[in-house]
Structure formats: structure tokens, C-alpha cells
């Protein structure tokens, strides 16, 4: 009798990265025994020393928790599916953001907690949840993408660990920081092409990893950085440029990790997902994973007004549109202003105790709008892509008498 065991992201390193494993058995116990025979490393993560299911691991047969029925003696049907799901609330086999299996710092990427924002929930509206991506090793969601970009290049033979090859990427922040960290670990030299108007903290952090920075004209924004990076890469074929804007490994990273983690944390009950419109990778990758689980889920983009410089986001009206972004796969696209973004960021800090960046404030502002239009038994999820420390010098976190946020943010590139 053959069936599939669905493997959550936290356990996939122990089964070679597989999303599902085919096993044999007439009962759950027999099916798990076959799984453990194939992948011994996963056994102590699912059952205890007495062979019973670990306290913080839920197992479902035909979508029903076996703890409330026959446990390990639960019959399994031929062609059926068993779901193994470590709990994300009330405990976990692995604490979020802890290296699994004794790996280096890169093994700590992903597995970030999903927390509820009860103090910001609109009255009568849906519950609102946020994934704390600032808890990745270099401090942002881009650790997932950067690792996927580099590992794909290694698998294709374009990069060789320890070779000292030059990796170059246009960036004004999070992706550059993440690539600088990963290149330091993998033994590559990293060159960031950055607009000279990027925030001081981002420039400093990239430099601290030992990376080189080439500045592009600030008045040309991120589009100018993209153009200069392409020109430099074309002139030197020895440079490898992952180019997150067109590289399918950007959304694939979120399809493989971020989306399944969200589904696992909420038992698949996600009614709307909101993220900022940056490269489009998060929206495309997470959206694909969520839609496979629930075709009715709303995928919503937070987009800055044309000319607005909301940190981390892009207006499609301002120029270059990333190749990986397919707007037809979005359900809604809502505009957000600098002021709305900063006010939501301040609310997160003062009412939920979470210090986030302004692009996170933009996504939160839109998520709260969406939640206010939904029912109380529904869930809206957003991602907090990074933390507020990278923007401390902008002086945006404390309200000042007579402040004009639009003017304050006008001359700095936040993306």
C-alpha cells in the first residue's frame, strides 16, 4: 500500500529537501517506520525515545489529527496523504531561527516566526499576522533569495565555492547585504552597485562584510543602479550577476520556503496575503504556494504612489518592471503613501513592540485596510521584510512638531 507523507520546510533538510516522500504501510505506524528506514535523521524529530509522536508535532491522516483518534494505529488508505506538521504556536521541535543539524550560519536562514498583531486588528475585521523576516541572519527576507541565487549558480557550475570569483548585483540594500554575507561564507568576492542616495546603515553593513561598493547616480534611483550593473557585467564576462529582477530563483525561494512556512503555521487557513511591490519575488513565490493550497486566497500588492520613495517598494509607473513580476497573478494592487507607511511603522513599534522598516509599514498599512474589509474568522498575512535599525538615521520613528514626512523623505532613496 503506497501513500505520500508531506514534509514541512523545517524537516526537509533531513529528507534531502523533498516536499513529499512516498512510503508504504497500512497504518500510520507502518508508514512512519518506512519513512524512518529511508531517512533515519528525521526519526527523532517526529517521535520520542519510546516511539510516540513528539509533543509538539502534529500528524494528520485525511486532514484529521491522529492524536484525537487512534494515534499511530490509524489506518491509512492506498494513495492517501499523511501530513506531518511541527507546531508553530505553543512550541516547536526547532526554535525559529536556530541552526538545524549543526550547519554554518546559512542553515539559520528561514524558519522565522509568524506572530499575530492583535492590537492593530481592525474592529470587526480579520485577524492580522506578520512574518518576522528581520530574524534571518543578515536581517532581512532577502537572505532566502540570496541563498537560492547562489546555490542555483553553484549547482549549474557558474560558481565554485572558495574560488574568489566576483559576484555583482545592483541593490540599494537588503539583497546586497544578504549577498555580501553569503559570499563571505562561500568564499566569493561581492560587488554591490548602489545608488549614492542609499541609507548610511545599508552602505555600512555591506562594507562590513568586506564587499566592494560601486555607486551609481542618486538621482537615477534604483533604475540607474540596474543600468550601471548591466553595463559593468557586459564589459567583464568573469563577473557573475545573479540579477534578482529576472532570476526565477527569486520567487522560487519563497515558493519553497516562505509560503509553506506560512501555511504550516496557520494550518493552511490563509485568506489574504499582502506584500510590498519590490522585485515581485515575494508576491509571486508566496502567492503561488498559497494559491495551490487555497485557490480563493487574495494576493495583494502594496505599491507606492508614482514618485513616492517608500523604502523597499517600487511604483510600476516609475520605469523598469522586473521580469519575474506577472501583475496578472495579483488579485489587488493598492497604493500607499510615504505618510501612511511611516504612521503604520510607528503603530507597529508602539502598539505591538515590533521595530520594522518603512516598506514593512507600507505593507502593514495595506494589510490593515484589507483586514478591515474581511470577516472576523479570516486571516490576513503580511511579511515584515526587515527591521527598523537599517533606517535609524532617517529620524522617522519619533513624531516631531510640525514634521512634513513627504518633504523629509523626498531626497533619499529608500528602496
Annotated active-site residue in 14, 142, 148, 172: 142
Q: Are strands 81-86 and 332-336 parallel, antiparallel or unpaired?
A: unpaired
Task: Let me know: does 56 contact 91? Beta carbons within 8 Å.
Answer: yes
Q: State the cell numbers at 242.
A: 545573479
Task: Let me know: does 99 contact 108? Beta carbons within 8 Å.
Answer: yes
Q: Rounded to an integer, what distance in angstroms lies between the CA atom of residue 266 and that of residue 281?
A: 22
Active site (annotated) includes residue 359: yes
Annotated active-site residue in 148, 172, 197, 359: 359
Q: What is the dihedral of CA 44, 21, 37, 55, to 10 degrees?
A: 20
From the list 153, 371, 341, 123, the residue with the least C-alpha distance to 270 is: 371
Active site (annotated) includes residue 172: no
Q: Rounded to an integer, what distance in angstroms lies between the CA atom of residue 121 and that of residue 68?
A: 32
Residues designated as active site: 142, 359
Amino acid at each position: 500500500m503506497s501513500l505520500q507523507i508531506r514534509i514541512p520546510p523545517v524537516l526537509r533538510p533531513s529528507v534531502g529537501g523533498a516536499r513529499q516522500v512516498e512510503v508504504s504501510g497500512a497504518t500510520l505506524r507502518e508508514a512512519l517506520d518506512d519513512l524512518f528506514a529511508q531517512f533515519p535523521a528525521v526519526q527523532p524529530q517526529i517521535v520520542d525515545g519510546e516511539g510516540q509522536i513528539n509533543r509538539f508535532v502534529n500528524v494528520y491522516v485525511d486532514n484529521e489529527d491522529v492524536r484525537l483518534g487512534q494515534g499511530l494505529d490509524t489506518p491509512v488508505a492506498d494513495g492517501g496523504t499523511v501530513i506531518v506538521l511541527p507546531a508553530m504556536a505553543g512550541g516547536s521541535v526547532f526554535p525559529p531561527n536556530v541552526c538545524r543539524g549543526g550547519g554554518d550560519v546559512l542553515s539559520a536562514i528561514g524558519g522565522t516566526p509568524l506572530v499575530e498583531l492583535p492590537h492593530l486588528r481592525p474592529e470587526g475585521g480579520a485577524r492580522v499576522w506578520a512574518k518576522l523576516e528581520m530574524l534571518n541572519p543578515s536581517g532581512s527576507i532577502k537572505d532566502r533569495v540570496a541563498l537560492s541565487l547562489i546555490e542555483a549558480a553553484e549547482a549549474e557550475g557558474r560558481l565554485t565555492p572558495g574560488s574568489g570569483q566576483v559576484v555583482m548585483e545592483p541593490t540599494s540594500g537588503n539583497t546586497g547585504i544578504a549577498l555580501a554575507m553569503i559570499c563571505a561564507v562561500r568564499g566569493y568576492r561581492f560587488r554591490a552597485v548602489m545608488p549614492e542616495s542609499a541609507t548610511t546603515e545599508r552602505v555600512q553593513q555591506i562594507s562590513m562584510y568586506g564587499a566592494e561598493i560601486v555607486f551609481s547616480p542618486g538621482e537615477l534611483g534604483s533604475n540607474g543602479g540596474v543600468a550601471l550593473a548591466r553595463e559593468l557585467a557586459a564589459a567583464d564576462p568573469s563577473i557573475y550577476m545573479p540579477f534578482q529582477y529576472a532570476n526565477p530563483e527569486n520567487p522560487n525561494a519563497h515558493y519553497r520556503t516562505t509560503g509553506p512556512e506560512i501555511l504550516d503555521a496557520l494550518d493552511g487557513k490563509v485568506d489574504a496575503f499582502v506584500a510590498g511591490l519590490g522585485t515581485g519575488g515575494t508576491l509571486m513565490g508566496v502567492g503561488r504556494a498559497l494559491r495551490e493550497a487555497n485557490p480563493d486566497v487574495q494576493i495583494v500588492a502594496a505599491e507606492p504612489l508614482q514618485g513616492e520613495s517608500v523604502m523597499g517598494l517600487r511604483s510600476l509607473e516609475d520605469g523598469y518592471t522586473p521580469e519575474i513580476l506577472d501583475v496578472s497573478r495579483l488579485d489587488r494592487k493598492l497604493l500607499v503613501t510615504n505618510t501612511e507607511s511611516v504612521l503604520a511603522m510607528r503603530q507597529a513599534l508602539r502598539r505591538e513592540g515590533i521595530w520594522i522598516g518603512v516598506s514593512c509599514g507600507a505593507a502593514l498599512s495595506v494589510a490593515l485596510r484589507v483586514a478591515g474589509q474581511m470577516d472576523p474568522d479570516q486571516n490576513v498575512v503580511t511579511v515584515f521584510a526587515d527591521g527598523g535599525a537599517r533606517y535609524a538615521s532617517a529620524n522617522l520613528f519619533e513624531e516631531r512638531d510640525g514634521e512634513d514626512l513627504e518633504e523629509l523623505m523626498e531626497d533619499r532613496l529608500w528602496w
